[in-house]
């Protein structure tokens, strides 16, 4: 539901006028874990309710996995592009080689996030309390 409201906020410019900082908005965009509730605290009924809430929110995990996959694809293309620009240098380290290495590091982190979110999604889909 908030995605539809977010589109309206984006179109009206309210997205940029939000009191939240840009890094916080990016964190919320790439990580749905802030929506999840802690299942390790409280009584058994509270833990079961938190788990049911997390099962209802598992759709956000698949949407976020799509965002990470798209970002990883862009980083792969940028890595190849920067690597091609940095070839042929025998002197000091080129800035393009550093940019390619930074994109490669991002790819490694993105693949880890995809595995973690994929595991959480499959666990929440197939495991009942």
User: Residue 3: its pLDDT value, please?
Assistant: 42
Structure-token pair, residue 28:
């919320």
User: Residue 2: its pLDDT value, please?
Assistant: 43
Which residues of the chain register pLDDT less than 50?
1-11
**33 in Cβ contact with 2 (< 8 Å):** no
C-alpha to C-alpha distance for 52 and 47, rounded to whole angstroms: 9
Q: What is the CA radius of gyration of the chain?
A: 20
Q: What is the pTM of this model?
A: 0.74
The domain segmentation of the chain, as residue ranges, is: 58-126
C-alpha to C-alpha distance for 56 and 74, rounded to whole angstroms: 30
C-alpha to C-alpha distance for 92 and 46, rounded to whole angstroms: 59
**65 Cβ neighbours under 8 A, 6+ residues apart:** 114, 117, 118, 121
**68 in Cβ contact with 31 (< 8 Å):** no
């Amino acid at each position: 539901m908030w995605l539809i409201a977010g589109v309206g906020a984006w179109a009206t410019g309210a997205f940029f006028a939000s009191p939240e900082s840009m890094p916080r908005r990016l964190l919320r965009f790439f990580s749905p874990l802030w929506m999840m509730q802690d299942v390790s605290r409280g009584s058994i009924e509270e833990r079961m309710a938190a788990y049911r809430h997390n099962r209802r929110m598992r759709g956000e995990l698949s949407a976020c996995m799509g965002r990470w996959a798209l970002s990883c694809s862009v980083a792969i293309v940028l890595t190849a592009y920067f690597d091609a620009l940095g070839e042929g240098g025998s002197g000091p380290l080129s800035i393009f080689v550093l940019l390619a290495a930074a994109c490669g590091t991002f790819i490694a982190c993105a693949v880890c996030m995809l595995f973690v979110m994929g595991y959480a999604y499959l666990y929440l889909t197939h495991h009942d309390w």
